[in-house]
Amino acid sequence: MKYKVEIDGKTYEVDVEDIYARPVVAVVDGERFEVWPESEAETTAATVPSVYVPDPTQAAMTKQPAKQDAGGKHVAAPLPGVIVAILVKPGDSVSRGQELCTLEAMKMKNAIKSSREGTIAMIEISVGDQVGHGQVLMTYAD
């Protein structure tokens, strides 16, 4: 389905492939994004995630946007938004598809999930941070 979305006075053309697939694939002005919507079970009030708050001095050092490298060493923001939860901490081993953090964009919460197995080396964001598209959120140790 194709949509036209206006954000801050700029119009974007959004093409959503299959809304029921996971991840949902959306193409925004020719750029492909994968979004992992929350399931109904994940959004119930009984589910309370533990939230890791990183050292603010560590996060402040790396706020500039960066591209995701081909080796998958970084987790990058798939779209601009605000970080509302961080569910892992440095040293945590993560599996493919595991939720790492939650990014709120256009009043929608987007689960940012790991694209591979690995160990989190560095969290480069804090809850409440405004992040840009492509900005590095986390770095894998391996």
* Mean pLDDT score, 121-138: 94
Q: What is the pTM of this model?
A: 0.54
Do 18 and 69 lie in one domain? The reply is no
Do 105 and 135 lie in one domain? The reply is yes
* Mean pLDDT score, 88-98: 94
Do 82 and 104 lie in one domain? The reply is yes
Longest dimension (CA), the chain: 43
Do 73 and 14 lie in one domain? The reply is no
Do 11 and 53 lie in one domain? The reply is no
Cβ within 8 Å of residue 41, ≥6 positions away? 47
Distance (Å, whole) CA 133 – CA 121: 21
Mean pLDDT of the chain: 80
Domain around 111: 37-140
- Model pLDDT for residues 1-36, shown as the tens digit of each residue: 788 888 888 888 888 887 777 788 888 888 888 877
The tally of domains found in the chain comes to: 2
